[in-house]
Structure 1
Amino acid sequence: MLSLAGTRKLTLFLPSVGRMREEEIERLRGVVRDCVTKHLYTSAIFFADKVAAFTNDPADIYMQAQALFLGRHYRRAFHLLNASKIVLRDLQFRYLAAKCLEELKEWDQCLSMLGEAKVDEDGNVVMYLDKDCEDHEINISSAICFLRGKAYEALENRAQARLWYKAAIKADPLCYEALECLIQNHMLTCEEESKLISSLQFGSEDGWLSSFYSCLIKKYEKENVVEAKFRDLENESCKSDQSDPSFMRTLKSNTDLLACKAEYYHQCGEYQKCFELTSVLLEKDPFHLKSTLVHLAAAMELGHSNELYLMAFNLVKDYPQKALSWYAVGCYYYCIKKYDVSRRYFSKATSLDATFPPAWIGYGNAYAAQEEGDQAMSAYRTAARLFPGCHLPALYIGMECMRTHSYKLAEQFFMQAKETCPSDPLVCNELGVVAYHMQEYKKAVWWFEKTLVLIPNSLSEMWEPTVVNLAHAYRKLKMYREAISYYEKALVLSTRSLSTYAGLAYTYHLQDDYSTAITYYHKALWLKPDDQFCTEMLSWALVDESRRGVDHILEQQ
């Protein structure tokens, strides 16, 4: 039992605690914030718990929950927030509680915590209005819409996920993650992407961001249009901070921006240019994964197996749990034509991340390379279902149908690909090939000419087959002058094409210009001495030329 003197000491002590409490609590709040910045989460949790116990203030309870979340104590953080009576009245409390459920993979509960809401086809939603956020803050409504999208995607409801991601970026254009999900997961068609970007309400100082976003989406416009976009972005950067010219220089050499340019080069078929740019980017930032993916694609097209091996080795070492790493391994084996092995690694990539488009395409291509059509079609169909905004699965399905001579069915899939991406010249080229095989030569000419119009930059060797195909179609229509013109254009692009020399020789042969035909048959046979068509037609041309010579002698007599 305390003596009277002890009681007096206790009585004297208590008021001093009361006088010091606010000052001490504010100091402890500062300690919590400092622990978080130094990533000392256990210390942050310890002191935040004491602050919340002293004050029972909602702001301090939220700070404690934040510390628990950062320390990966998701269940405890959710319990703390859920026990708070304010959780259903305050959006920030509700959002953090839902984030905890996201980390716990309890997606249905996550959606339930966020509450009931509806969104229309354009991504418009009337909810979570928060007009008081600062210019440097992302609207809480946007963050909540984005979290809804992630939850629906995890539940494999990709249609709803797409709508909520659109709602997130429309609620606040600064929510870049939502746009990234829409673009990388191919949730929107080319037209839908452009429409979405044009509908965003950017701030007065965010002109550069609008230009940047327009560079991120699919780039099938003409070269001068795309280059103008990049120039506009650099100009906007200069305008946004004229007092600091270094900002413009920094953005011009920004890795994300240069990765966009590399993507554009790859889409244009400028694989060497793309490879050189991504090589520079990866020297600057070896772990920039977007550049890495484009670099792998360019190396595949160029057949750089050694580069693919080194990239795959480093990726597996640094990121063993990422789909990109095993996709790189699959690319290496595909490049050296070990298709069975490549399939295993593409499959492993899809098992790690079912929403990684390149792995599904690679998986189908590996089957197609060995003419295992059913398995290839299965992989392409899965890709088409998962990535409705990507036209490549439908394009490859059409190619498989063409391989089995199902031309009408192939045409249907090519038209489907064209609806998704109207500006890809490769789709028009394949439609031309189908029309040619169905002996619809006028239609083939129309598609091949449209292909040449849609090619974003000047003609390169990549498009030489299209020029030859157009020449073949003109020859079938007996428009020999036009056919010869396009064969000669093809020779400017490549001088090692058997099809070009054979086609040119046959066209001259049909015009009874036997000597010129013989010259081109010889050039074709120089490239492939055992070509049956050229060998046979050369014999006929020689006979025809000798007969003409005999007839000429007889006429003179």
Structure 2
Amino acid sequence: MERFLRDWRQDALNKAQYESAIFIGDKLLAMTRDDNDAFWLAQVHFAAGNYTRSHALLTKHNLIGSNSSCRYLAAHCLIRQNLFNDALALLGEHTPTHLFTANARRKTSRTGGRGGPGRGGLKAPERQRDQFSEEESSDRRHEAAMCYLRGLCYAKQNAFDRAKEAYKDALRIDVQCYEAFTQLVRNSLMSPDEEDEFMLSLDFNSVRAPNGGDDPDLKSEPGDYVHMLYQTQLSKYRNPRAFNTAIESLSTHYGLERNADILLARADMLYTQCRFKDALAITDSILEEDKYNFAAYPVHLACLYELGKTNVLFLIAHELADSRPDEPCTWLAVGIYYFATGKIAEARRYFSKASMMDANFGPAWIGFAHTFAAEGEHDQAVTAYSTAARLFTGTHLPQVFLGMQNHAMNNMTAAEEFLKTAYALCRTDPLLLNEMGVVLYHQDRLRDAAKFFREALRIADDTDSDPHAWLGARTNLAHAYRRMRLLDEALEEFDAVLRDGGKDPAVVCAKGLIYLDKGLPDEAVRLLHEALAVNPQDPIATELLNKALEESAAADVGVLMAQLSTGDHQEGDTGVDEGDGGVGGKADLDRFEAELNERKVAARVRMERRTTRGKLAADKGKGVARGNSTATAGSGRIGGRRGRYIVEEEEEEGMMELSDDG
């Protein structure tokens, strides 16, 4: 009868018929008075959501101190009731370090296990590991799970450093404790360098498949598989080659090419490379299979924002608000839609709602901070970004945004410090390198600025990033070359920007300024006319054109005066008087001045006609739209991916320098 009741209870539990399982389990416990049956009944209560009854049952039968599995279940019940202090008191602050130090002592080389001395048989440490009883292995797994619960309690107390160490301890004890791993990665608690170092410290050789036999290859394969799965979840900035190798192996050898997690990891990599269309195609395919895969929504929404697909954002936000109002991603989608349509106050309200539903939801915190930055409320933006930096200590992006805000407030020293902090966390993000170059540029440290711009472009090229996303960095490099008087190099960079990004009047103006610097005012006049044809109201182009026309006219005067002085010398031998009206006489000078004035008038008339034509075309909607000189930093995900331009007023400063030199 006992065996019959246990089978009935398990069958009901497997079918999620919790009332039946509780009913039968209660009768079984009354018959047997067995601790195992009491533990299983507590498990059924937990599965049914009866956390108070489950904890009370464990306490009544004095099971909490009996073994690790009962203590883990009791602590989990307390956490589900939001009694974090009680749970931490039950778990204790002591970490069973002897478990992962034993792992370290048994650890073998992942690369030297094949074809080495151990091929003919198991090494002594491996025999010892295989001799672990099932009970010992279960205790280890529960001890690791309790370290994970300890980390959750610390996180709720805002002790994020202690939470991170608890999660690490869980993985050191049991590398298969994925809950701890995902807390570390999803909440960005480790920097890319720290992730690599931690992965090397884990004992993936402890992962064993049942009935693996004596073949060392078969014994190491589960560990390799788990290592590759974890590798796909790490930062996409640090080691793209290792990421691609893991993705390729999992897709080719294990048939995971259409798995949602693998596809999402690939989309995340493409997003960091600013290949938004490619990333969006992947996230679309993921959501077609499962439209409630909320892990995919942050990247998906960020790509829609970057590509300006406001209609799609509206449809997604509307559908999620109707079907899943209990999910933070729902209100993130609503906030991004309002942010994309310029309704900043509404966007802030929904980003705040998403962050209150999940205090560790990074995209909501970053979006909330972006709303203040969009309105120029720099102090509030700094406060919000600082909160994100405190919550997500392993990512460099909040520090980048703090640097950008301090730069906007002209606090160059503070901006540089924040960017240096970000650089210590991640050295391979072109966005960060471009921002560091911008700050150094405004500090007149032009050589250092140019070095960072070049490094940003090099990394973007090495990772096959979208070149259009980094036109800002290339433009900034050209401006740095211009101010360093490397005029030919600056022209090459400006030409590359115009070739990849189309006619940008700011870039054309910068080229015109360089030709003025090189003493070629006629070529400058031609370029500045092109800039005004695109944007007739550009004040910098207008002022530069006036300057170029004056210098062109002055050059014509210089040439004619040189000719006249040569004529004076030749005619001086014949005794022709200057007042006679001959060559070099007053009549020639008057005639030249009249001709020069006519040229000036004709040039101004041509400029006014072009300006008028451009204005009429713009009024009719046929003018060429001018590209934004700056790119938004936000996307609903942690971090916008486009580089910023140096502010266009630098061209005006360069023009004033030229005026002073002239």
Does TM, scored on the shorter chain, surpass 0.5? yes
Contact 1:312 1:328 in 2 (8 A): yes
Identity within the alignment, %: 33
| Deviation (angstroms), 1:126 | 7.6
Equivalent residue runs for 1:145-544 within 5 Å:
145-202=147-204, 203=207, 204-206=220-222, 207-221=224-238, 226-235=243-252, 238=253, 248-249=254-255, 251-455=256-460, 456-458=463-465, 460-544=467-551
Q: Quickly say closer, same or farther: Cα 1:166–1:64, change in 2 above 3 A.
A: same
Contact 2:193 2:238 in 1 (8 A): no
Q: Quickly say closer, same or farther: Cα 1:521–1:131, change in 2 above 3 A.
A: farther
Which stretch shifts more, 31-40 or 520-529? 520-529
Q: Which residue of 2 aligns with 1:4?
A: none
Code of the residue aligned with 2:529 in structure 1: it is: H
1:320-351 CA-partner distances (Å, limit 9, x unpaired): 12221111111110000000111111111122
Code of the residue aligned with 2:355 in structure 1: it is: T
Task: Tell me the SS of whatever aligns to 2:533.
Answer: helix
1:66-113 CA-partner distances (Å, limit 9, x unpaired): 112112222221122122244313111111111111212211221222
Q: Quote the Cα distance in structure 1 between the aligned partners of 2:526 and 2:498.
A: 15
| Cα-Cα RMSD | 2.4
Code of the residue aligned with 2:440 in structure 1: it is: A
| Deviation (angstroms), 1:474 | 0.7
| Deviation (angstroms), 1:167 | 1.3
Q: Quickly say closer, same or farther: Cα 1:458–1:95, change in 2 above 3 A.
A: closer
Which stretch shifts more, 213-222 or 398-407? 213-222
| Deviation (angstroms), 1:222 | 7.2
Task: Tell me the SS of whatever aligns to 2:176.
Answer: coil
Task: Tell me the SS of whatever aligns to 1:205.
Answer: helix
Q: Quote the Cα distance in structure 1 between the aligned partners of 2:532 and 2:376.
A: 29
Which stretch shifts more, 466-475 or 79-88? 79-88
Contact 2:316 2:333 in 1 (8 A): yes
Task: Tell me the SS of whatever aligns to 1:139.
Answer: helix
Q: Quote the Cα distance in structure 1 between the aligned partners of 2:194 and 2:22.
A: 45
Q: Quickly say closer, same or farther: Cα 1:37–1:475, change in 2 above 3 A.
A: same
Task: Tell me the SS of whatever aligns to 1:252.
Answer: coil
Which stretch shifts more, 438-447 or 460-469? 438-447
Q: Which residue of 2 aligns with 1:77?
A: 54
1:246-302 CA-partner distances (Å, limit 9, x unpaired): xx33x0111111111111111111112211221121111111112111111111111
1:123-155 CA-partner distances (Å, limit 9, x unpaired): 96789x994349997822221111111122122
Which one of 40, 49, 61 corresponds to residue 17 of structure 2?
A: 40
| Deviation (angstroms), 1:31 | 0.3
| Deviation (angstroms), 1:185 | 1.1
Q: Which has the larger radius of gyration?
A: 2
Q: Which residue of 2 aligns with 1:17?
A: none
Q: Quickly say closer, same or farther: Cα 1:492–1:171, change in 2 above 3 A.
A: farther
Q: Quote the Cα distance in structure 1 between the aligned partners of 2:536 and 2:246.
A: 49
Q: Quote the Cα distance in structure 2 between the aligned partners of 1:186 and 1:92.
A: 29
Q: Quickly say closer, same or farther: Cα 1:222–1:351, change in 2 above 3 A.
A: closer
Q: Which residue of 2 aligns with 1:15?
A: none
| Deviation (angstroms), 1:498 | 2.4
Q: Which residue of 1 aligns with 2:72?
A: 95
Task: Tell me the SS of whatever aligns to 2:221.
Answer: coil
Q: Quote the Cα distance in structure 2 between the aligned partners of 1:253 and 1:306.
A: 28
1:462-503 CA-partner distances (Å, limit 9, x unpaired): 100100100110110101121112112212220132232122
Q: Quickly say closer, same or farther: Cα 1:126–1:111, change in 2 above 3 A.
A: farther
1:156-203 CA-partner distances (Å, limit 9, x unpaired): 222211111111122222221111111111111111122222222223
Code of the residue aligned with 1:143 in structure 2: it is: A
Which stretch shifts more, 488-497 or 42-51? 488-497
Contact 1:222 1:457 in 2 (8 A): no
Which stretch shifts more, 389-398 or 214-223? 214-223
TM-score, with structure 2 as normaliser: 0.75
Q: Quickly say closer, same or farther: Cα 1:29–1:145, change in 2 above 3 A.
A: same
Task: Tell me the SS of whatever aligns to 1:435.
Answer: helix
Task: Tell me the SS of whatever aligns to 1:341.
Answer: helix
Q: Quote the Cα distance in structure 2 between the aligned partners of 1:434 and 1:34.
A: 65
TM-score, with structure 1 as normaliser: 0.88
Q: Quickly say closer, same or farther: Cα 1:141–1:193, change in 2 above 3 A.
A: same
Which stretch shifts more, 211-220 or 314-323? 314-323
Contact 2:189 2:392 in 1 (8 A): yes
Q: Quote the Cα distance in structure 2 between the aligned partners of 1:252 and 1:274.
A: 15
Q: Which residue of 1 aligns with 2:7?
A: 30
Equivalent residue pairs, number: 519
Q: Quote the Cα distance in structure 2 between the aligned partners of 1:194 and 1:224.
A: 13
Q: Which runs of 5+ in 2 are unaligned?
A: 104-128, 208-219, 568-662
Q: Quote the Cα distance in structure 2 between the aligned partners of 1:503 and 1:154.
A: 53
Q: Quickly say closer, same or farther: Cα 1:132–1:518, change in 2 above 3 A.
A: farther
1:420-469 CA-partner distances (Å, limit 9, x unpaired): 22221111111110111111111111111121122222551110010010
Contact 2:416 2:436 in 1 (8 A): yes
Q: Quote the Cα distance in structure 2 between the aligned partners of 1:67 and 1:279.
A: 38
Code of the residue aligned with 2:57 in structure 1: it is: L
